[in-house]
Amino acid sequence: RYISTFRPAVKHDAEKNKAQWKTMGPAKVAVPSPKKFLQKHSKEPKLPARKKEQDSKKLPALSVPRRTDHPVMGIQSKKNFINTNAVAAITGLPKKPQPIYVDRRQGDKYLLETSGLVPKYIKKKDYGVTPKYITRRNEEVKRAQKEYEDSILEHLKKRAMKRLSDEERRSLLQGLKKNWEEVYRDFQCLSVEIDTIPKKLYKEKLELQMKQLEHDIEVIEKHKVIYIANE
């Protein structure tokens, strides 16, 4: 049978430390006295002693008369209530009836003021006045537009852009129209039957030139202010 070589060492260590676990807790425990035995209701919670109230004899102030109180008798008033009521009825203003409306001839009555039929809104002091937020927003839009135009002008100045005068714009427009008329004259001089490739290419070239000239003329006529870059 196999026997480990470490058996004597393990056995020695086990016997050496065995005395430390012989008891659980402290070795010496105080023994309770036989006179301190558990009594009945000893572990129940006890309420604190009730304090004696000093003002227990004073009763709280009552808002209602006591049963033993007697009403005050013999008080009379010299006021003539009949005459007073008559004078108040004569001198008082008559009560105005509230305006009402009905939904049909024999229908129920409803107050006219809360029905929404009275034009109260147009009687307001600020009726028809532009709201402040709209005025403020319009001012912001104008300020933003002005800043954008200033930035465009500054950008054009940096790029040294030149603005065309009215005479130059008019002469440029007349020149473009003259060129279009010349190209259109050449286009009308084409033969009716285009049966060769050179004729077809020439026709497409004239159509392209006319289209480009029409586009340039439309742009110049649409924009009155034109800037060109200086070379």
Mean pLDDT of 161-182: 87
pLDDT at 59: 66
Query: Residue 25 — pLDDT band, cuts 50, 70, 90?
Result: low
Q: With cut-offs at 50, 70 and 90, classify the pLDDT of residue 97.
A: confident
- What's the pLDDT score for residue 134? 93
Q: pLDDT tier at 160 (50, 70, 90 boundaries)?
A: low
Cα–Cα distance between 37 and 32 in angstroms, integer?
9
Q: d(Cα 195, Cα 192) in Å, to the nearest integer?
A: 9
With contact defined as beta carbons under 8 Å apart, do 219 and 211 qualify?
Answer: no
Return the pLDDT at 113. Answer: 83
In this prediction, residue 136 carries a pLDDT of: 94
The fraction of the chain above a pLDDT of 70, given in percent, is 87
**Who wins on pLDDT, 141 or 224?**
141
Q: Which residue has the higher pLDDT, 138 or 195?
A: 138
pLDDT at 141: 95
**Residue-level pLDDT at 181:** 92
Residues 162-168 have a mean pLDDT of 82
pLDDT category at 10 given cuts 50, 70, 90 is confident
pLDDT band, very low/low/confident/very high, at 22 (cuts 50, 70, 90): low
Over residues 43-68, the mean pLDDT reads: 76
Q: What is the mean pLDDT of the chain?
A: 83
Q: What is the mean pLDDT of the segment spanning 28-53?
A: 83
pLDDT exceeds cutoff 90 at 74: no
pLDDT over threshold 80, residue 189: yes
Q: In the predicted model, what is the mean pLDDT of residues 183-191?
A: 88
Q: In this model, does residue 3 exceed pLDDT 60? A: yes
Alpha-carbon gap, residue 14 to 9, rounded angstroms: 9
Tell me which of 155 and 130 has the higher pLDDT: 130
pLDDT for position 19: 59
